[in-house]
Amino acid sequence: MHAAHERIGYEKLKAAHDGAGLRVQPLLVPRTVAVSEREADIAEREAGTLAELGFEVSRTGPQSLLLRGVPALLVHGDTEALLRDVLADLREHGESRRVRAARDELLSTMACHGAVRANRRLTIAEMNALLRDMEATERSGQCNHGRPTWTRFSLADMDRWFMRGR
């Protein structure tokens, strides 16, 4: 039940976040980030791409950037390191999926912490609601960590477990 509830919560959080779009958290005190001249060139050239990823960045010198805003969901993480990683991805591949990956990991953790725990007895109504939610949720056959949310046993298997017919 934990794995199923976790997957349902994760998919709901992800859909809500995707629907609202990537929000930018303006920084009260902008941060200066030291980078290489090549990274500063990339940041200047790819300012639109960085804005789509939630970074408000401007070049302030040959080897420095001013970070004015970060992705709101990741504001408590190491956003400077994330910015450097994104710049490295843009330099090497022309795109970056790091912000989405970091966001998905955070949403996964939030879903896990919000899911029902083992040893909690669900009411019949709660069990039915969980099953109905599983029917309506993509990839509900496994949780975010890959654990199965259900399995099938044959009647013969169950008879063997309870030593029926012996």
- pLDDT, one tens digit per residue, over 142-164 is 988 888 998 999 999 999 899 88
- Please report which confidence band the pLDDT of residue 53 belongs to, taking 50, 70 and 90 as the band edges: confident
Mean pLDDT, residues 75-87 taken together:
85
The answer to whether 122 and 1 are in contact (CB under 8 A) is yes
Counted domains in the chain: 1
Report angle CA 137, 138, 144 to the nearest 5 degrees: 100
Beta carbons of 165 and 159 less than 8 angstroms apart: yes
* Cβ proximity of 88 and 103 under 8 Å: no
Q: What is the pTM of this model?
A: 0.67
Per-residue pLDDT, 132: 94
Residue 21 sits in a domain whose CATH number is 3.30.1370.100
Q: Place 40 in a pLDDT band, splitting at 50, 70 and 90.
A: very high
Domain extent, residue 166, equals 1-166
Q: At what angle do helices 79-93 and 98-114 cross, to 10 degrees?
A: 140
Quick one: average pLDDT of 13-36? 87
Better-predicted residue by pLDDT, 39 or 79: 39
Q: What pLDDT is stored for residue 100 in this prediction?
A: 82
Confidence bin at 120 (pLDDT 50/70/90)? confident
What tens digit of pLDDT does each residue of 93-118 get? 888 888 888 888 878 887 887 788 88
Strands (E), the chain: 24-34, 56-61, 64-71
Predicted confidence band at 61 (pLDDT cuts at 50, 70, 90)? very high
Query: Could you tell me the CA-to-CA distances from 79 to 19, 31, 70, 74 in Å, in that order?
Result: 23, 10, 7, 7
- Check whether 90 has a pLDDT greater than 90: no
3-state DSSP: the chain helix, strand, coil percent, rounded to 5?
Answer: 55, 15, 30
Q: What is the CA radius of gyration of the chain?
A: 23
